[in-house]
Each structure stands twice: as structure tokens, then as C-alpha cells.
Amino acid sequence: MDEQARRTLGGLPLELFSTSASLSDDHHGHGEPGSAPYARGIHRTMYTQRRWTMRQYAGFSSASATNERFRLLLERGQKGLSVAFDLPTQLGLDADDPLSMGEVGRVGVSISTLEDMRELFHQIPLDKVSTSMTINAPAMVLLAMYIVVAEEQGIPSEAISGTIQNDILKEYIARGTYIFPPEPSMRLISDIFEYCATNVPRWNTISISGYHIREAGSTAAQELAFTLANALQYVDDAISRGLDVDAFAPRLSFFFNCHNDFFEEVAKFRAARVLWHDLMMERYAPKNPKSSMLRFHTQVAGVSLTAQQPLNNIARVTIQALAAVCGGTQSLHTNSYDEALGLPTESSATVALRTQQIIAEESGAADVVDPLGGSYHVERLTTLMIEEVRAELDRIDSKGGALKAVEAGYQQREIHKAAFAHQRALETGMRNIVGVNVHTMDESASPPVQTIDADLARAQEARLKDVRENRDEQRTGQALMALEEASHSDKNVMPFVLEAVRAEATVGEICGVLRKVFGEYTPPSGF
């Protein structure tokens, strides 16, 4: 490989070694942990007093099957839950919708009704665990269902904690599970901010996600820049609704990817905290320090996992998880080694959790605060990352901000270019992946993968039919009508969605009302 190409492959120029002379006068490696701008971590003691939350993402098949996996992970030491929903649920479709055919329970758990949500959290006390839900366009509906299930357990909404992803801009940019056009989607997000600030104060109302941007092919710097630009757009929209920045900003959280370039990833996380602090102070001058304190969840890179020699993925996941810990993450999901082949088995999911536990208990990385603080290389990379992200944010600002840039297809095109460059580097040998284009070998067998019950869709359809036949149809109809009227007004629609959920309206019925009022989004091609 050409040496100069290798040294600039990640998008940031690298020296063969760094010294104090490598650092600019304004580098961001100094300062105390727990103090602004938080380069060294948001807490003074970080993991030395309390470990990060080990939050393994899980969800497949039926609510009962996923509940069984949740309880298994909790028994084996997991501290928080993270729900993966199937594609129909993510698109606001019931399991018996014709468009759901072939997708029910395939990439996550199928949730159509309040009864499904009750079963998902059966025998799990919702005041004792925090729950993250990877849901975006229908986030309001799934949060409402969670609130009602907690109420039925005797737990007030003030006592529950967790996160909804609720990040629609990155759906337009990279992931594709949007329903409504951008403007009404942003309205729903602001409604959630407003409602939860008063009624669900411990809930993180959005997890602004770079993860899927990176999975779609972006560079590390693009992941950070596009995510922060989206976050600023959410803050702008909420403030334009009349919300005070300190009323909602402390509950904003972030979700980042972590790839194999260990030092670049650590620098990315350090840069993220500095940038968020500085951007919030420059633009909004919040009075609450937590409004400018970036908290984030990390998931290691799914796109880095290979179907070839899948056991090698354990090493990849370990490197990535260690980078997230050294970078100061608040919670972490480690992928299972078999995820390039199918849904994780019980065995592979356990290995993934044990990887985190070994890092926590055996590696020493959690025994000191910011173990890479003072590294010339990491501090230099942090400064370079900040400079590159700032330049990208300026380009997005020049286009009118994240929303206008998304509508013009700017971020989509930039990700396409980066993904093409990555693939070209792989095919020409400028980038090596063990087992794919170097150190290959004949493989005769693959590990077993999780299977999905072929009768799941029929069972879900039967459950839906039973719910519809036994609910108070008049109450359901009135609740949906009230939601439609509220959607046409400037009222906050969250209370109306809650009432529809209590009246046993389904995910598809509630989203159907919003589709009727708001319409559906058709994206630009991105090319």
C-alpha cells in the first residue's frame, strides 16, 4: 500500500508518531474530567465509581420470545433494556397489514397493540430498569404504550426512565424508516419534548443518532458532523415552538457508532463532547450545565462484521467496545459475532455481553478516568476531528441548516461518495479486511443462527383480531377522531395518542390517522 495513502485513509492526516509539537495551542486534551468542555468525560469519576450501562439490543419474533431474551440478559448481568422492533412496527404498520407480509418479527419484535407491549415487559418492573427503544417515525405511539404499561404496573410516568430514538432526520439521511414529511415529523418530536419535560422528566426524549449514518458508509467525521447538525436543528425547532432550551436540552442524548480504528474512534468521542458544549454555548447560552453536556450510547459497528470467518468478529467487537469505554460512553451495546449471518443466538448474545463484562472487570480500562488522556496522538486526532467537523457544519449552515440540506439530498450524496470510496479502497487493496480480501480460507460450515417461527405472522394476526373484537369500539373510534382533530390544530398531540392507546387502538390505526392528516414522504433519489 502507498504510505501516504495509508496515512490519510481515514480522512484525517496522520503522522507516523506525535509529540508535544504536534499539538496546536488550542488543542482540547487538557482540563479536568467532569468539567467543561468535557473532553475527558462528563463525570469526574467516570467508571471508577459506577460502570457504564451494559445495554444489549434485543428483539425478534413475538413479544413473548423477546421478553424471554430480556429476562435472560438481565439474569446474566445486563443493566438496561434495548428494544429492536420489526420493520412493520418501525413503519407504523400492523402485523396484518398487506405491506407487512414476510417481515413480521424478522428484524425485531412485532408490536401492534397495547397487549403486545404488556407481554413484552411481563414480569419486568419498569421502575427498576431503563429501556431504550429504537423507534423513530412512530416513536410517540410506542412511548405512549410504554407509559400505559407502566401505569398498569402501578408506576407513574414520573418514575420511568429510558430513551426513544425519535431521530427522524437521520431516517431521511441514511436509514429509510420514515413515514411523514419532514415538517410534521419535526412537529411530533417537539410535541414529545414538550410533553415529557412536564410529565416524563426522567425520559430521554431523543437519541440523536450517528450510528446509522456511519453504517450507511460515512466517515467518522461525517458521522459526527451530520449528527450534531441534526441535533442543532431539533433544538432550533423546539425553541421556535416557545420551549426554553433548559426545559428539554438536558434530556437530549446521542447514539454513536464505533469502528475498528481504535484511536480515531476515541478521538471522535472526545471531540463530540467538546463540540456539543461549544456549539450549545455559542448558539443558545443555556444556564443549566447539563444542557451542553453530551451523553451518548455506543453500539459497535454492525457493518464491520463479516460473514467470512465469523468468530473473528469477537476480536473486532472487543477492540470497538474498548474504544467506546476509553472514549467515555454512558452505555454500550456489543454486537454478537454471528450478526452478519442472522439474528443472535442465546450463546452468541451471551458472549457479546461477557465481552463488556471482561472489559469492565479485567482490562483495567474502567479503573481510571480517561486512560488515554495525555496521549499526543489522541489529543492531536481530537483537534483534527474538531476542525473537520466544524468545516462540515459550516457547509450545512450555508445550505440553511440540517433540514434544508436533507431536503436537498446533500448529506445523502456525501454518504454515497464516502461509501463508494470505502468500497473502492477495499477492492483495490488499499484497505484490508481479514477474511475478506486478506488471510482468506475455505470455510465449510457456519455457526447456527437464530430461527424465526414460520407461524408468527398468523399468530400475530389472530392476536390483533382478538384485540379488535374485545375492545370498546366506540371508545376507540372516539379517541382516533379526537387525535385527527388535534392533528389538524396546533395542539400537542401526545395526550391524544395516549388516550388512543388506552382505548386499545393499534399502532397501524394511530399512524393511519396521522398519515391521513400529514401525508407520506417521498424522498429525493440522492443522486
pLDDT in tens, 186-241: 999 999 999 999 999 999 999 999 999 999 999 999 999 999 999 999 999 999 98
Order of strands, sheet of 203-204, starting from the edge strand that comes earlier in the sequence: 203-204, 161-164, 130-134, 80-84, 53-58, 331-333, 296-300, 252-258, 206-209
Percent of the residues in the chain that have a pLDDT greater than 70, as a whole number: 92
Which range (152-161, 357-366, 451-460) has the least confidence? Answer: 451-460
**Is residue 433 packed enough to be buried (19+ CB in 10 Å), middle (13-18) or exposed (0-12)?**
middle
> Which of 253, 204, 226, 266 shows the shortest CA–CA distance to 29?
266
Q: What is the DSSP string of 481-525?
A: HHHHHHHHTTS--HHHHHHHHHTT--HHHHHHHHHHHH-------
Average pLDDT (380-384) is 93
Measured CA distances, 65 to 72, 116, 409 (Å): 11, 11, 39
Cell output for 366? 474502567
Q: What pLDDT was estimated at residue 95?
A: 96
The pairing of strands 296-300 and 252-258 is: parallel
> Which of 197, 188, 200 shows the shortest CA–CA distance to 162?
200
Which is higher by pLDDT, 15 or 501? 501
Cα-based angle 242, 287, 390 (whole degrees, multiple of 5) = 85
Q: What's the pLDDT band for 4 if we cut at 50, 70, 90? A: very low
pLDDT tens per residue across span 464-517: 999 999 999 999 999 999 999 999 999 999 999 999 999 999 999 999 999 999
Cell output for 90? 418501525
The DSSP secondary-structure symbol of 180 reads S
Average pLDDT (391-407) is 96
Distance of CA 493 to the CA centre of its chain: 24
Alpha helices, DSSP H only, in 106-217? 114-120, 139-152, 168-170, 182-199, 211-215
- What pTM value is reported for the model? 0.90
Q: What pLDDT was estimated at residue 273?
A: 97
Q: What pLDDT was estimated at residue 5?
A: 40
Look over the chain and give the mean of its residue pLDDT values, rounded to a whole number. Answer: 92
Q: What pLDDT was estimated at residue 2?
A: 42
Cell output for 281? 454555548
Count the neighbouring beta carbons within 10 Å of the beta carbon of residue 167.
26
Backbone angles phi, psi at 132, to 5 degrees: -105, 135
Domain 50-428: which CATH number of 1.10.3210.10, 3.40.50.10800, 3.20.20.240, 1.10.10.10 = 3.20.20.240
Q: What pLDDT was estimated at residue 7?
A: 45
pLDDT tens per residue across span 314-329: 999 999 999 999 999 9
Percent of the residues in the chain that have a pLDDT greater than 90, as a whole number: 84
Q: What's the pLDDT band for 22 if we cut at 50, 70, 90? A: low
pLDDT tens per residue across span 227-267: 999 999 999 999 998 999 999 999 999 999 999 999 999 99
Strongest mean pLDDT among 72-81, 339-348, 462-471:
462-471
Q: What's the pLDDT band for 18 if we cut at 50, 70, 90? A: low
Q: What's the pLDDT band for 27 if we cut at 50, 70, 90? A: low
**Cα(162)–Cα(152) distance, integer angstroms:** 18
Cα-based angle 267, 526, 402 (whole degrees, multiple of 5) = 50
The pairing of strands 296-300 and 53-58 is: unpaired
90: pLDDT strictly greater than 90: yes
Considering only the C-alpha atoms of the chain, give the largest distance between any 2 of them, rounded to a whole number of Å. 74
The DSSP secondary-structure symbol of 439 reads S
pLDDT tens per residue across span 127-172: 999 999 999 999 999 999 999 999 999 999 999 999 999 999 999 9
Backbone angles phi, psi at 156, to 5 degrees: -70, 155
Measured CA distances, 338 to 77, 313, 348, 471 (Å): 21, 8, 7, 42
